[in-house]
Structure 1
Amino acid sequence: MNHRKLSIIAGFSYFIIFFAAIFANFYVIEALLKTPLETVTNNNLMIRLGIIAFLITVVFDVVVAWALYLLYKTHYLSTLSTYFRMMHAAIMGVAIFTLPLTLKATNDTDVLNYINTFNTIWLIGLFFFGIHLILLGRIIKTPKFITLFLILAGLMYMIDTCAHFLLADYERYSSVFLTLVAIPSIVGEMSLAVWLLFKGFKHSIQ
């Protein structure tokens, strides 16, 4: 498979991850956090679809890891970067195990406990994902602004994870950390997805 096709696969897969994650996070998880038992009772199907959406993100995370590895396999950091992304995907897969348990919960506390467990496990996965982004920023030479945002996003993921565990009053600063993570990650990863899909490796014949 030539590099252009791999680039398209990686970019397209990134977009699938984005849309699936937006639905699963900002609709399903947020609904469960705001009205736990009510959501389980009245929006059972939405939760099930959210679980599927998270599974889709894991599948295409592996696809992106595979495609990026093949695109940049000559770089000495490529294998290491792939391992860290695969670690994130594996940990995310484990985190998803907690979500079906919400469907059988009978009170708000149990639902919130399951969601908190999911978020904590995923948070650990994001630490390793941050390392992947930093390495990816070193691997990809151009466009330069994308590499800078990838490295910054990776650092912010790692800092945010550490802050969760180190700061007893993390909630006081959660909105600040969310902004620090969201801006570079959205700009960096979305820009990378667009570049891979529409421009990456257009002149490659390998």
Structure 2
Amino acid sequence: MNPRLLSLYAGVSYLLIFFAAIFANFLVLDAIQNEPLITIQQNPLMVRFGIIAFLITVVFDVVVAWALYELYKDHIISGLSTLFRMMHAAIMGVAIFALVNSLSLTTGHEILQQAETFTTIWLIGLFFFGIHLILLGRIIKKPKAIAIFLMIAGAMYMIDTGAHFLLSNYNAYASIFLGLVAIPSIIGEMSLAAWLLVEGGKNSEKSSTQ
């Protein structure tokens, strides 16, 4: 397939993931965690839209994995990078089931448990996503700044997941870890999305016409 078209697919999919994840995570999941019973009983439609938004992130995660593989399939570790991203997407798909379960529960404690189950499974998926980002940074190489931020973000995802399971007082450092993950991730992945939309695949097209 045309490299430029593949880059556009990947870039647009990244943007859809970004906006769907903001809504699902910061509006819906946060609401469930802060006021579980009220959110489920008074705003069930919002929760259902949040579930759909998470499903959208999974669908377009697979599209990104496919497009990036096609773009860089000549690289020796491209297949491995794709598999780790697919693992993340599959685990995320399983995690969503916990949010679906929460819709039928009638106590705040039970709902909160389902939200925690979702988060725990998601964190496991993010560990593998971190490996994907590290490998992706090694694969793309240029633009170098984006590659570096992707690798840093990948390492931070892995460290954050490890900290969740290793530190009994993780909540005391949660805001620090959030910053360590969010800053390189947003810069790296959004810069990659912008580069794919504006420049991705153009050099390959030029090479093929020469």
Q: TM-score, normalised by structure 1?
A: 0.99
After superposition, residues 10-29 of structure 1 pair within 5 angstroms as: 10-29=10-29
Amino acid in the other structure paired with 1:165: F
Q: For structure 1, which runs of at least 5 residues remain unmatched after alignment?
A: none
Amino acid in the other structure paired with 2:199: K
Separation (CA, whole Å) in 1 of partners of 2:157 and 2:185: 9
After superposition, residues 61-140 of structure 1 pair within 5 angstroms as: 61-140=61-140
Q: Secondary structure at the match of 2:203?
A: coil
Q: Secondary structure at the match of 2:79?
A: helix
Amino acid in the other structure paired with 1:146: I
Q: CA deviation at 1:204?
A: 2.5
Separation (CA, whole Å) in 1 of partners of 2:119 and 2:127: 13
Aligned to 2:204: 204
Separation (CA, whole Å) in 2 of partners of 1:141 and 1:100: 40
Q: Is 2:175 aligned against 1:167? A: no
Q: For structure 2, which runs of at least 5 residues remain unmatched after alignment?
A: none
Q: Secondary structure at the match of 1:200?
A: coil
Separation (CA, whole Å) in 2 of partners of 1:110 and 1:101: 10
> After TM superposition, where is structure 1 displaced by more than 6 Å over at least 4 residues in a row?
none
Aligned to 1:44: 44
Per-residue CA distance 1:36-90 (angstroms, 9 max, x = gap): 1001111010000000000000000000000000000000010000000000000
Separation (CA, whole Å) in 1 of partners of 2:201 and 2:95: 35
Per-residue CA distance 1:135-191 (angstroms, 9 max, x = gap): 000000211100000000000000000000000111110110000000000000000
Q: Secondary structure at the match of 2:204?
A: coil
Separation (CA, whole Å) in 1 of partners of 2:39 and 2:166: 32
Q: CA deviation at 1:202?
A: 1.8
Aligned to 1:191: 191
Separation (CA, whole Å) in 2 of partners of 1:171 and 1:126: 18
Amino acid in the other structure paired with 1:186: I
Q: CA deviation at 1:203?
A: 3.3
Q: Secondary structure at the match of 2:10?
A: helix
Amino acid in the other structure paired with 1:35: E
Instruction: Tell me how many residue pairs correspond in the alignment.
Output: 206
Q: Secondary structure at the match of 2:201?
A: coil
Separation (CA, whole Å) in 2 of partners of 1:99 and 1:168: 25
Separation (CA, whole Å) in 2 of partners of 1:100 and 1:136: 32
Q: CA deviation at 1:34?
A: 1.1
Separation (CA, whole Å) in 1 of partners of 2:178 and 2:203: 38
Q: Is 2:177 aligned against 1:177? A: yes
Aligned-residue identity in percent: 68
Structure number having the greater helix percentage: 2
